[in-house]
Amino acid sequence: MLPDAAGTLFPETSYPMAFLGAGLGFAVILLIDQFAHAHSGHVLSAESRGAAPYLVAIALSIHSVLAGAALGPEEHLISSAVIFVAIIGDKGSARFALAVSMIRGGLDRARGWRILILFSLMTPVGILIGVVGSWLLDDRGGEVFDALAAGTFIYIATIEIVTKEFRADRARALKLALLLAGLGLMAMLAVWL
């Protein structure tokens, strides 16, 4: 997503706008995540810990909207398929993280279901935003959303998944092998994109 945005986003300027967009996407999710962690610390009251699931839901929803917005205006089937697979793969871990946060925050079941339903609607909303944004931005919306979504995917993958997985000593060699295999698969897919 980022290479696509980097090659076509505002080519009239020498400033790397796509990388700025990715950095902004990364920073927004980082700020929300850090705010959520600060409000779910051990010494905070139960009232402030109860806010953490909502903050996690907001961060993951922003990520989902941006991922959907990157998919919406995509014109090439292979690129659409790659983004779709990334979204589907990401949704499982995002739903799990949100559910754990809701359980730890003590949310009742009915409220938890409402949050999960709203969260599940964020990617389709993002797709619509991407289509409309691309139209409003003279077909540059796809690249803008690609850059922002790339930053959120980088954050979720590195901070939320990879670093947490490698903290545990269990099956570290297998995890490293799978990480390298995934990188290799993405490198091979880049040949056809």
Q: What is the pLDDT of residue 151?
A: 87
Chain segment 108-148, per-residue pLDDT in tens: 889 999 999 999 999 999 999 988 888 887 767 678 888 88
Secondary structure of 119-175 in HEC code, one letter for each residue? HHHHHHHHHHHHHHHHHHCCCCHHHHHHHHHHHHHHHHHHHHHHHHHHHCCCCHHHH
Above 60 in pLDDT, residue 45?
A: no
Residue 40: strand, helix, or coil = coil
Q: What is the arithmetic mean of pLDDT over 44-48? A: 43
Above 70 in pLDDT, residue 33?
A: yes
Instruction: Give the number of domains in the chain.
Output: 1
Chain segment 68-106, per-residue pLDDT in tens: 888 888 777 887 887 888 788 778 778 887 888 888 888
Global pTM reads 0.67
Q: Look up the domain containing 35 and give its range.
A: 2-192
